[in-house]
Chain A
Amino acid sequence: MEKLRERAAAILADGTVSLVIGYEEGTKRPRPLFCHDGESARKLIFDSRCFHNLAVYLTKKELVGNGRFAVTATISTLRSIMQLYVENQLSEDKLLILTVDLSGTLREFVTFDEISAYVEQFELKRSEREQAILTRIEGMTREERWNFWQEEMSHCFKCYACRSACPLCYCTKCVVEVNRPQWINPWPAPVANMEWHINRAMHMVGRCTACGACGDACPVGIPIDLITRKMMEDMAPEFGYIPGLPVKKGNALSTWKLDDREQFIR
């Protein structure tokens, strides 16, 4: 950790970057920190409690400006950064990635390929929480699943924290803001809420890297991250992807194969 602070302070001091986005101690758990100088870099921490997906900030021009910036990245954050690279939302000459590996060594990455070689070693596994809820859902009949989600949806008040926390929801105009005509009703109600979530999930096909930021952000505790999580797991074999490992070969929905599955087409 000391190495990370030193390195962050050094690259800020010598002008390599003008901003380091990392973590600091928060009131209950670590939280994002923006370092503009060596002094604030002293507050940096990086450990297993750091869970925010800082990739969400990297596409915000008002924060990162036009210069080069650095970010301390967890494995989840790295996966998102890879996907942002795939979607041409980040450029390799603007970003410097710092991370600390399992042996405590400070690692630095710049390119997609460097990140990929590192992330490859980590299999994307369901967390205990994800496993518990998904097993429950998978054991349900369709009617039970419907009731489960209707109950959950009835709590959604459409704050869109799920969207705001998602590093891949970087659209300047989101589909919920399309209002000529109003495509998805903006008021909270079970069907309008479900339409919103199905829509978001559809926009995540082949893109979601299962970081769980959306579910974590939801103030009313809806496990929405599991909708995209399940979809991602289902789709990866269909489309020949490894879950959570973005590849530069075109997004699932912008490409196709002649022999895509079609048993359900009559």
Chain B
Amino acid sequence: MSSEEIFEPKIVAFVCNWCTYAGADLTGTSRLKYATNVKIVRFPCTGRIDFLLLLKSFAQGADGIIVSGCHPNDCHYTSGNFHARRRWIAFRSILDMMGVDVRRVQYSWVSAAEGSKWADLVNNTVADIRALGPYTDYQKVADYLEKEVQDGEA
């Protein structure tokens, strides 16, 4: 990569249907400009986002991840985001123990009215991940089977 080229990180966003997805929609309809690096995956609720999906994203080439849903007390299902928050606390601790780069997972609350917050969240995350560079550590081992077969241990 020449110094002129800027690294464009691949970001996957896991968002809830009721708040953040609607918020991101609002960003669009308000014609706010934001980075195009993000691919959005919509869930009914943050409580429904399986932590393994985050790891699968890294394995398939994501450099950064956004997870976002309704603010506390605003969950469409009352407490899905509270449960999710607990899970994230535990997940972060386990990831950190395993040496996974937790800086690459950005959690947020974005409501249906916060179109500009969504734009900021994406822009800031893209900037952060760009500074961190591609997540080659993870992608290298994710290409496992070939390596395992060709160079595996006897």
Contact = CB atoms under 8 A, between A and B. Distances in A.
**A–B contact (CB under 8 angstroms):** yes
Interface of A: 137, 140, 142-150, 154, 183-184, 187-192, 194-195, 197-199, 201-202, 205-206, 227, 230-231, 234-235, 238-239, 252-258, 260-262, 264-266
B5 interface: no
B90 A190 contact: no
B40 interface: no
Nearest to B100: A146
A253 B98 contact: no
A253 B87 contact: yes
Interface in B62-97: 72-73, 79, 82-83, 85-97
B22 interface: no
Interface centre among B82, B86, B121, B148 (most CB of A within 10 A): B86
Task: Please classify the interface of chain A as helix (H, G, I), strand (E, B), loop, or mixed, using the class held by over half of its residues.
Answer: helix
Given A147-B99, A191-B59, A191-B144, A201 B86 contact: no
Nearest to B148: A189
Interface size class of B (residues with CB under 8 A): 35 or more
Interface in B39-61: 51-52, 55-56, 59
7 nearest CB pairs, A to B: A146-B99, A145-B99, A189-B144, A256-B82, A205-B90, A234-B93, A265-B107
B94 A143 contact: no
A212 to B, nearest CB: 16
B17 interface: no
Interface of B: 51-52, 55-56, 59, 72-73, 79, 82-83, 85-101, 106-109, 121, 124, 137-138, 141-142, 144-145, 148, 153
B22 to A, nearest CB: 19
Nearest to A226: B97
A205 B88 CA distance: 11
A210 to B, nearest CB: 14
A149 B59 CA distance: 16
A188 B149 CA distance: 11
A144 B99 contact: yes
Nearest to B50: A183
A112 B57 CA distance: 42
B144 A258 contact: no
